[in-house]
Amino acid sequence: MDAQVPASRRAVLGGLAGMALAGLCTPVEAAASLDLARYRGKVVYVDFWASWCGPCKLSFPFMQELAGRYPAGDLAVVTVNVDRQRGAADAFLRQVRSSLPVIYDAAGDLAQTWKVADMPTSLVFDRKGAMRFRHQGFFPGKVREYEGHVAQLLQEA
């Protein structure tokens, strides 16, 4: 690795490079903090959101309900905030009363890695860590479709 890369970043890059070799993430994910290996064997619903996003306010009750419906050993719901100001994100979370895990991506590294341009965007990964579904935006009329994607992946071995 380049000697000009800080030691902490080299450690992250090294760890993620090993995960990439194991097929658990893409090498491009190196700058990000989403560790899909942590969720191996679970279906993972990752939602990118921002405090200024109106539809994001609608998606949080859905995600809370989804997370509560299935055992934690089967489904993980993780949210990724892209606000540049942490205070705005924290105020939003208090407003929607979320207890879901949050990864703060103020620099936009994760959003760029996963090519997220619309808020919210949800990525649904199967138990092997492969992204199987991508939901751009949140539409209450599509809740059954979103639930169906999760249920389908939960039924797979």
Catalytic residue positions, numbered: 53, 56
> What Å distances lie between residue 50 and 1, 14, 72, 85, CA to CA?
34, 30, 25, 10
Task: Report angle CA 40, 44, 50 to the nearest 5 degrees.
Answer: 135
> Can the peptide bond before residue 120 be classed as cis, meaning omega within 30 degrees of 0?
yes
Our measurement of the distance from residue 13's CA atom to the centroid of its chain's CA atoms, rounded to an integer in Å, reads 19
- The neighbour count for residue 107, using CB atoms within 10 Å, is 12
Q: Are 102 and 79 in contact (CB under 8 A)?
A: yes
